[in-house]
Amino acid sequence: MLSMNRSNSQLEFPWTGELDSVTGIPPRKALDISLPLLLRIMGEEELPLSAIMIDIDHFKNFNDKWGHDTGDKVLRHVSTIIRESVKYRGEVYRYGGEEITILLPNTLSDEASQTAERIRQSVYASPLKRQSKAEDESSLIPLSVSISLGVSTFPSVDGSELLVAADQALYDAKRRGRNTIAVFNSCKKNESSPVVVDVRFPAASSISEGNYVILTRWFRHRGELTEIEAREISVPGRGLREFAEGPMPPGGAVTAEIRGRVTAVERRGKSTFFSFEVEAEVLDLMYHHLKDHGS
């Protein structure tokens, strides 16, 4: 169990389970155990808790161009830099795929942002050396690696929304062009007007009302921007990812992340229909993404 050393306000992270086989850091299961305990301890002590969500930019390119062995090396490389950057101050977890999560107890938003920026700079300044077909040292090829980071802090953000808020900030960082950090801004969220999008998922789904969902592969449906079909959806808070197959509807395929909250769900036959609440600016981005891709 997590414990607080009251003399120096440091948290101990005695994770004794298996580490992630690729990165050598605690897995998502450890995060799911640690976070509720940390939130309880921080709440009792009236101390802040910051979360940083990290995504390796264009990670798929490393796997596609150089192979999965290189992709694994990139993950280990980035994880090692992150772990060393927060040693004795927090813990690092492999959230899933190329996403990594940091929990920083007793850390305010400004300090967490500074930590995130230091990590970003460290990764960007440390290219990974990849061996070419030749065996001599001169054949080492530097691979440039960058990351995007999102920061959120409890109690400014409700504990149950801490990772969701950090994930939303991460999305903002990626929208800005990647290789940058973003801090969750609750005021900006409150000022934005939500828009409801009708989504059809042509398969059975376990999503429910209230879930925060990401659509990754989707199509413009019936020529209307607010009616789309999704082929890949995920629920970050539950580590859930679902896929569906089917003929392409009118409008063309798009691979882009759209994040929002499910407000209603209806299951008809083999399809799942849900109302998807997104920020108005996200809907605007959807429109321009479709326009840019000629859909």
Owner of token pair 């990594």: 100
- Which of the following is catalytic: 12, 45, 98, 266? 98
CA neighbor of 105 nearest in space, from 51, 150, 53, 169:
51
- Cα-to-chain-centroid distance, residue 202: 25
In the residue annotation, 281 being an active-site residue is answered as no
CA neighbor of 37 nearest in space, from 19, 14, 7, 6:
14
Strand partners, 224: 221
CA separation for the pair 178, 149 (Å, rounded): 9
| Tokens at 210, concatenated | 């209230």
Q: Nearest 5 degrees, angle CA 290-CA 294-CA 295? A: 55
Exposed / middle / buried, residue 75 (Cβ in 10 Å: 0-12, 13-18, 19+): buried
The per-residue DSSP string of 121-149 comes to HHHHTSPEEEE-SS-SGGGEEEEP--EEE
Contact 3/10 with Cβ under 8 angstroms?
no
CA separation for the pair 32, 48 (Å, rounded): 18
CA separation for the pair 1, 37 (Å, rounded): 8
Q: Count other C-beta atoms under 10 Å from residue 286's C-beta.
A: 22
Please list the active-site residues.
98
